[in-house]
Amino acid sequence: MAGTYWVKARNAAKIFEERVRFVDENTTFKVENYKKDRWIELTRRPDGVFILKEVGYTNEVYELDEKDVRKISGKIFDREFPRSNQLRFHFVKK
C-alpha cells in the first residue's frame, strides 16, 4: 500500500489505527500536516516491535507493540495536529 493521500483530520486517528497492519519491515508510514513541520513516522522492526517517531510539538521516539500503537495514536494526533483540517498519509517502501 504505497503512495500519498489526504485524510480529514477528524478521521485521521481512526484511519491511522486501521493502516497500522500494512506497516512491515520494508515500509515506513508517515503522517504530516500541510506545512510539513510536524509529523508522525511508524516503522516495524524485524522482531515485530513498532518504532513510532513523533516530531513537532513534542519530539519523542516510542517502542510499542501493535495494541499500544493503537492506544496512543489518538493522544498523539490531538497533541500534534490540533488545528489541522487535512493530513497527508504517506507510505514509503524502503
| 79: confidence class by pLDDT, cuts 50, 70, 90 | very high
| 1: confidence class by pLDDT, cuts 50, 70, 90 | low
3-state secondary structure of 51: strand
| 23: confidence class by pLDDT, cuts 50, 70, 90 | very high
Q: Residue 2 has what pLDDT?
A: 64
The C-alpha atoms of residue 93 and residue 29 are separated, in whole angstroms, by 9
Nearest in space to 28 (alpha carbons), one of 18, 20, 36? 20
The C-alpha atoms of residue 52 and residue 63 are separated, in whole angstroms, by 6
Nearest in space to 15 (alpha carbons), one of 42, 48, 53? 42
Check whether 3 has a pLDDT greater than 90. no
Please tell me the total number of residues recorded for the chain in this structure. Answer: 94
